[in-house]
Amino acid sequence: MWEYTEKVKDHFLNPRNVGEIDNPDGAGEVGSLACGDALRLTFKLDKNKRIEDVKFKTFGCASAIASSSAITEMIKGKTLEEAEKVTNRDIAEYLGGLPEEKMHCSVMGREALEVAIANYRGEKVKKEDFEIVCNCFGVTDREIIKAIRENDLKTVEQVTYYTKAGGGCAQCHPKIEAIIEKVRKEMEKEAPPVRPERKKLTNIQKIKLIEETLGREIVPALKADGGDLDLIDIEGNKVFVALRGKCSFCPSSEFTLKQYVESKLREFVSDDIVVEEVRP
Amino acid sequence: MKIVYVDNNATTKVDPEVLEVMLPYFSELYGNPSSMHFFGGQVQKKVNEAREKVADFLGAEPSEIVFTSCGTESDNGAIFGTLNSYPEKRHFITSRVEHPAINNICPYLSRKDYRITELSVDRDGRLDLDELKESITDETALVSIMYANNETGVIFPIKEIGEIVKSKGIPFHTDAVQAAGKIPLNMKKSTIDMLSMSGHKLHAPKGIGVLYIRKGTKFSPFMIGGHQEKGRRGGTENVPYIIGLGKACELAKKHLDDENTKVKALRDYLEKNILEKIPNTLVNGDRINRLPNTLSVSFEYVEGESILLLLSDLGICASSGSACTSGSLEPSHVLRAMGVPFTAAHGSIRFSLSVYNTKEEMDYIIEHLPPIIQKLRDISPFWKDYLKSQGKKII
């Protein structure tokens, strides 16, 4: 049995905004009977171009119905520009989480909204413009790429959980793998691992920060193993320390200094710190 | 909360009489049946008695009964035990609607260079015996066809299948996990070489199964160990469970008439009322050759998991062949093999009854199911479309 949150159960048992709006400003439908779930979303705007009313009809499992109900509640009163920013993660979070295998239900909610907004703007999201990767469930490369990017997906299994692609005959698995590899490379290029900008420290600030870091991050860990460490001096980027207790005769003391003490100080104080041991 | 348990093809309640006979074998009569002393010897006597009861239930000889841990072990044991006995034969025949304990062995065997034939079924879940005849070759090592289907309850013509297979001199195994206890089985009057059954489908506990192996059948043990089960399945006997299964088989034999009168009448009552009260509903599978306790029914334009959870909210426990309940994305391989249209396959529900069910419980289901289906159809976009296409007035 699936472990659904109370919020999912509530939105499934008492779905909000069920129905279809007559003469809606925007309407979108995704999924199909064959796929096992489908969602039809209709909305109307007020004079300030905010979503005045939104309704859904869904064929699908409990989490599909709950996700549909959730998105209607989330976008009511928003402008289309605001509503567009709702991601499938937001829907899942609103519901207190979904089982990973069911994340495609939240993706379906977001997709239906996207189609409905495009419909209002007179655009058409045409499947033909994209390559269908999974024939069993009719999933395009565009949908897969979007799910990978928005949810930081890494495996074919995850892509299946989020988009259903690859959940049938499995013939498209190599294709999905290739897409994951390509997209993840792009993602890395776009956003190399960033570290918060470091402010330039005065000498006094630096000494203080080193002392704090030693006290908070390093000494307690050494003490847990029966060792200890004293700060002797600081010269520019060089930090002189003396190892005490068990550390002073530990055969891996050099490893402790370089791999542990130095890397912690580099992490919290400055990238160029070098730790040196002072022997008595 | 009131509980109406109609999921007996998944598992059954341990009969209180079964539990009672098992209890002394945990901490009083705990001897090992293989021991030389009286303390183990008295247990061996009881294990033998249980074996006789199981044999009597199946119309078999006690020496033909091998106790296993579950139906899956019996199925795996039969297949690997036979294929390993005929290493030169590289062809295996089964059907497309088997339980995963057989079905999922096929890809494994394919990788080991076996040729697999999976016989198709028609819209009612019936086999084409001509396809079976044509599939058998000199290369065929084993034919394994289930006795009755777990999802639809459709009973295969095992007697005819056995005759065809045996006329070619090929070993024949049947997975009778769902049939045992629901329809009469008699090995003396059949051509079955091996048969699997599982205790927890007939009111014994989970964790005990049987593989019947006809005397003279070639068999390489799957579980290698001690001399237990005449060397066909090593491992110290699961004594309390074997004792329990003996009792369960004794009771099942007694209740067999009830299955086909009382249980069948309840199932038919439930089926008739569901079909009458809920439009666009269809029964999956051959309604004539069917287990007396099983009803697989599809509600068009709604999805099975949603139905199950709304039923569950009212204490009604059933199961579904829909995709969403299993974690897979496609509906059950059984319904797909039968070609059940997608409008219906996703909305299938299985009710499986037992002698413990009552008419009052059926009335409870009949009272609550129609509004559940209506509620979900009101949410479904396809129901309104369907009504429109039928020119019906939409309320």
Residues A154 and A45 in one domain: yes
Residues A145 and A74 in one domain: yes
Residues A67 and A137 in one domain: yes
B395 in a domain, yes or no?
A: no
Tokens, residue A26: 């925007």
CATH number, residue A101 = 3.90.1010.10
Residues B298 and B232 in one domain: no
pLDDT of residue B231: 92
Residues A115 and A241 in one domain: no
Residues B199 and B276 in one domain: no
Residues A154 and A246 in one domain: no
Residues A130 and A54 in one domain: yes
List, by residue number, the catalytic residues of A: 35, 105
- Best of A56, A61, A108, A164 to disrupt the B interface by mutation (most B CBs within 10 Å)? A61
On whether any CB of chain B is under 8 Å from the CB of A100, the answer is no
Report the 3 state secondary structure along chain B: CCCEECECCCCCCCCHHHHHHHCHHHHCCCCCCCCCCHHHHHHHHHHHHHHHHHHHHHCCCHHHEEEECCHHHHHHHHHHHHHCCCCCCCEEEEECCCCHHHHCHHHHHHHCCCEEEEECECCCCCECHHHHHHHCCCCEEEEECCCECCCCCEECCHHHHHHHHHHCCCCEEEECCCCECCECCCHHHCCCCEEEEEHHHCCCCCCCEEEEECCCCCCCCCCCCCCHHHHCCCCCCCHHHHHHHHHHHHHHHHHHHHHHHHHHHHHHHHHHHHHHHCCCEEECCCCCCECCCEEEEEECCCCHHHHHHHHHHCCEECEECCHHHHCCCCCCHHHHHHCCCHHHHCCEEEEECCCCCCHHHHHHHHHHHHHHHHHHHHHCHHHHHHHHHCCCCCC
- Asked whether the beta carbons of residue B323 and residue A36 sit closer than 8 angstroms, the reply is yes
pLDDT of residue B1: 84
B146 in a domain, yes or no?
A: yes
pLDDT in tens, A189-214: 887 666 666 777 888 888 888 988 88
B160 in a domain, yes or no?
A: yes
SS3 at position A54: strand
Boundary-marking domain end, from A167, A190, A213: A190
**B336 versus B51: which is more confidently predicted?**
B51
Number of Cβ atoms within 10 Å of the Cβ of B193:
26
A124 in a domain, yes or no?
A: yes
B332 pLDDT band (50/70/90 cuts)? confident
Give percent above pLDDT 70 in chain A.
95
pLDDT of residue B130: 97
Residues A38 and A124 in one domain: yes
pLDDT of residue A127: 59
Work out whether strand B348-352 and strand B319-320 pair parallel, antiparallel, or are unpaired: antiparallel
- Asked whether the beta carbons of residue B324 and residue A61 sit closer than 8 angstroms, the reply is yes
Cβ-Cβ contacts under 8 Å, A15 against chain B: 379
**Predicted TM-score (pTM) of this structure:** 0.82
Q: How many domains does chain B have?
A: 2
On whether any CB of chain B is under 8 Å from the CB of A37, the answer is yes
Averaged pLDDT, B86-105:
96
pLDDT in tens, A61-118: 999 999 999 999 999 999 999 999 999 999 999 999 999 889 999 999 999 999 999 9
- Asked whether the beta carbons of residue B329 and residue A62 sit closer than 8 angstroms, the reply is no
Predicted-complex ipTM score: 0.88
pLDDT of residue A33: 83
Residue type, B37: H
pLDDT in tens, B162-220: 999 999 999 999 999 999 999 999 999 999 999 999 999 999 999 999 999 999 999 99
Residues A132 and A208 in one domain: no
pLDDT of residue A197: 65
CATH number, residue B361 = 3.90.1150.10
Is the pLDDT assigned to residue A161 strictly greater than 80?
A: yes
Residues B123 and B247 in one domain: yes
Residues A100 and A30 in one domain: yes
pLDDT of residue A244: 83
Tokens, residue B248: 């369960």
Residue-averaged pLDDT of chain A: 88
Cβ-Cβ contacts under 8 Å, B319 against chain A: none
Residues B241 and B342 in one domain: no
- Best of B301, B303, B319 to disrupt the A interface by mutation (most A CBs within 10 Å)? B303
A198 in a domain, yes or no?
A: no
Range of the domain at A176: 6-190
Boundary-marking domain end, from B205, B231, B252: B252
Cβ-Cβ contacts under 8 Å, A136 against chain B: 330
Residues B225 and B269 in one domain: no
Give percent above pLDDT 90 in chain B.
90
CATH number, residue B217 = 3.40.640.10
Q: How many domains does chain A have?
A: 2
- Asked whether the beta carbons of residue B329 and residue A164 sit closer than 8 angstroms, the reply is yes
Asked whether B77 and B211 are in contact (CB, 8 A), the reply is: yes
Boundary-marking domain end, from A169, A190, A211: A190
B105 in a domain, yes or no?
A: yes
Residues A240 and A183 in one domain: no
Residues A212 and A163 in one domain: no
B323 pLDDT band (50/70/90 cuts)? low
**A124 versus B166: which is more confidently predicted?**
B166
- Asked whether the beta carbons of residue B382 and residue A64 sit closer than 8 angstroms, the reply is no
- Asked whether the beta carbons of residue B381 and residue A38 sit closer than 8 angstroms, the reply is yes
Among chain A residues, CA nearest to B322: A36
Residues B292 and B369 in one domain: yes
Cβ-Cβ contacts under 8 Å, A20 against chain B: 381, 384
pLDDT in tens, B251-302: 999 999 988 899 999 999 999 999 999 999 999 999 999 999 999 999 999 9
Tokens, residue A267: 């992490």
Distance CA A76, CA A80 (A): 10
A250 in a domain, yes or no?
A: yes
Residues A178 and A261 in one domain: no
Averaged pLDDT, B11-35:
97
A125 pLDDT band (50/70/90 cuts)? low
- Pick the closest to residue B217 from B102, B85, B80 (CA basis): B85
pLDDT of residue B6: 97
Is the pLDDT assigned to residue B86 strictly greater than 60?
A: yes
Among chain B residues, CA nearest to A104: B329
Residues B222 and B203 in one domain: yes
Distance from CA of A158 to the nearest CA of B (A): 13
Boundary-marking domain end, from B231, B252, B273: B252
When CB atoms are compared, the residue of A18, A62, A136 closest to B305 is A62
pLDDT of residue B79: 98
Return the minimum-mean-pLDDT range out of A162-176, A253-267, B64-78: A253-267
pLDDT of residue A6: 95
Residues B301 and B155 in one domain: no
B116 in a domain, yes or no?
A: yes
Averaged pLDDT, B350-377:
97
B394 in a domain, yes or no?
A: no
Residues B232 and B310 in one domain: no
Asked whether A151 and A183 are in contact (CB, 8 A), the reply is: no
- Asked whether the beta carbons of residue A59 and residue B382 sit closer than 8 angstroms, the reply is yes
- Asked whether the beta carbons of residue A62 and residue B309 sit closer than 8 angstroms, the reply is yes
- Pick the closest to residue A71 from A114, A35, A34 (CA basis): A114
Residue B144: strand pairing partners: B173
Boundary-marking domain end, from B252, B272, B300: B252
On whether any CB of chain B is under 8 Å from the CB of A29, the answer is yes
Boundary-marking domain end, from A157, A190, A223: A190
When CB atoms are compared, the residue of B310, B328, B381 closest to A57 is B381
Range of the domain at B185: 16-252
Quote the DSSP letter at residue A17: S
Residues B193 and B312 in one domain: no
- Asked whether the beta carbons of residue B346 and residue A36 sit closer than 8 angstroms, the reply is yes
**H/E stretch holding A277:** strand A274-277
Residues B335 and B298 in one domain: yes
pLDDT of residue A62: 93
Quote the DSSP letter at residue A215: I
Among chain A residues, CA nearest to B312: A1
Is the pLDDT assigned to residue B2 strictly greater than 70?
A: yes
